[in-house]
Structure 1
Amino acid sequence: MIPAIDLKDGEAVRLYKGDYEQKTVYSYHPHKLAKEFEKMGAKYLHLVDLDGAKDAAAKNQEVIKKIRETVSMPIELGGGIRNIETVDYYLSEVGIDRVILGTAALKDPQFVKECLKKYDASRIVVGVDVKDGYVSTSGWLETSDIYYLDFIHQLEEIGVKTIVCTDISKDGTLKGPSFDLYETIKNNSNMDFVVSGGVKDNEDILEASRRGYYACIVGKAFYEGTVNLGEVIAHVG
């Protein structure tokens, strides 16, 4: 169970179905929110730089560094990480534990290979963001013609071990995860995958655990009070 903080303009926000115009601010001090998660027993933190994802640049670096300095739990970070220099900066300088590659992984497979050659596979994760069965990029503003399972198989072939898979149509909706999507991945791939998007309550997380999925990201459901984080952590870790 991995709590999520999405960063935009230095604030912790959530978008509705990836729409940058439908934004809700949940905290003006994301580092304090991260500390709250840690106190609840969270063992990992999921960070997304939404500005970076949209504009192909790391825009929340100071906030990310502040969060890193505030908590001791491991952190994974995605959004705008599209060259080896940015990977080096976050993994080697800031102390982020693993980075999530998105757009770059689809458009430049060689970049992913370069990252895997330089760092252990446990530190390089790829985000597979799915819209109507196809992979979306650039902060979900563009949809490719690559079918998501084909992309997952390509990643597996080059040595990627872990993916974060988000059904964009579910993200921020509190309507439940796309379990059919995740079962398809489970039955067609050996990679660890993180369920992301749509989680509405404790039962969704427990169901993901019962099905043997690697992990589950929780964002809006916590902020809206429909998930009891401490209770879930006590059950699944």
Structure 2
Amino acid sequence: MILYPAIDLKDGQCVRLYKGEMEKATVFSDDPAAQALAFQTQGAEWIHLVDLNGAFAGKPVNAAAVEGILQAVSVPCQLGGGIRDMATIEAWLVKGLARVILGTVAVENPDLVRQAARAFPGQVAVGIDARKGQVATKGWAEETDMKVTELALAFEDAGVAAIIYTDIDRDGAMQGPNVAATAELAWATSIPVIASGGVSSLADLTALKETGAPLNGVISGRALYDGKLDLGEALRLLKA
């Protein structure tokens, strides 16, 4: 399993939200590129980026910060937030992103996801964010009637590189991931699943591993910033 340290960007700064609420943002760094480089130096093999402003605006907002990160590190980075058309997808991949994450558009325009996955094999992921099993979109601000597994299975044969599954009620709350729901999704689809939301300890990582589910990896943010999770120890555990 891969550990993806998370850098959530709001107004050019590294922040973490509490349960997806923009007004409950804690700033951890005003130098995203330095934070990304620190993660790389500590052994991270991937970095997970989110343009929070972009998720609400429907277009890239923190582009300068993302570009700074891409210039600072050599490890692959994946980005979600505000990526809703083919031109934006292509522009980010040309700039050096290893993978784009499509969230809102996966619900509103699934054909775009399929088209992008064909055009850029291995570089398009789907972000599925959910509250109580129901998919949420537009920066988690709007809830839909669609279930997580239903959306995942819609892309089963599309060539999607990964699914990033976030339980919104766990995100930034330091209460542990939704292990059961994450494992259920991983078993239900052949697409690699990355767990996100609430991962805050070595015990959480162990719990995910012990499900035996075919998880690709796990994303952690606040716990790394708070020092509740040591990146080196976490990497060793996931590789063991």
TM-score norm. by structure 1 comes to 0.96
Matches within 5 A, 1:52-67: 52-67=54-69
- 1:225 matched residue in structure 2: 227
- 1:23 matched residue in structure 2: 25
Aligned residue pairs, count: 235
User: Structure 2: which amino acid aligns with 1:169?
Assistant: D
- 1:7 matched residue in structure 2: 9
Cα distance in 1 for partners of 2:206, 2:72 equals 29
Matches within 5 A, 1:57-206: 57-92=59-94, 94-120=95-121, 122-206=122-206
Give secondary structure in 2 for the equivalent of 1:32: helix
- Are the counterparts in 2 of residues 209 and 215 from structure 1 also a CA contact under 8 Å? no
- 1:214 matched residue in structure 2: 216
CA drift at 1:201: 0.6
CA drift at 1:204: 1.0
Cα distance in 1 for partners of 2:199, 2:236 equals 18
Give secondary structure in 1 for the equivalent of 2:17: strand
CA drift at 1:145: 1.1
Cα distance in 2 for partners of 1:53, 1:113 equals 20
CA drift at 1:203: 1.7
Instruction: Deviation per CA, 1:146-186: give whole Å up to 9, x if none.
Output: 11111111021433241000000100001011011012113
Give secondary structure in 1 for the equivalent of 2:154: helix
- 1:236 matched residue in structure 2: 238
Instruction: Deviation per CA, 1:186-223: give whole Å up to 9, x if none.
Output: 33222210000011211212332343421000101111
- Are the counterparts in 1 of residues 128 and 135 from structure 2 also a CA contact under 8 Å? yes
- Are the counterparts in 2 of residues 46 and 217 from structure 1 also a CA contact under 8 Å? yes
RMSD across aligned positions (CA): 1.1
Give secondary structure in 1 for the equivalent of 2:169: coil
Q: Which is worse superposed, 144-153 or 3-12?
A: 144-153
- 1:32 matched residue in structure 2: 34
Q: Percent identity?
A: 37
TM-score norm. by structure 2 comes to 0.95
CA drift at 1:232: 1.3
Q: Which is worse superposed, 180-189 or 216-225?
A: 180-189
Instruction: Deviation per CA, 1:112-161: give whole Å up to 9, x if none.
Output: 121012110x2100000011211100000000111111111102143324
- Are the counterparts in 1 of residues 114 and 155 from structure 2 also a CA contact under 8 Å? no
Cα distance in 1 for partners of 2:129, 2:115 equals 22
Cα distance in 2 for partners of 1:73, 1:158 equals 26
- 2:48 matched residue in structure 1: 46
Q: Which is worse superposed, 201-210 or 131-140?
A: 201-210
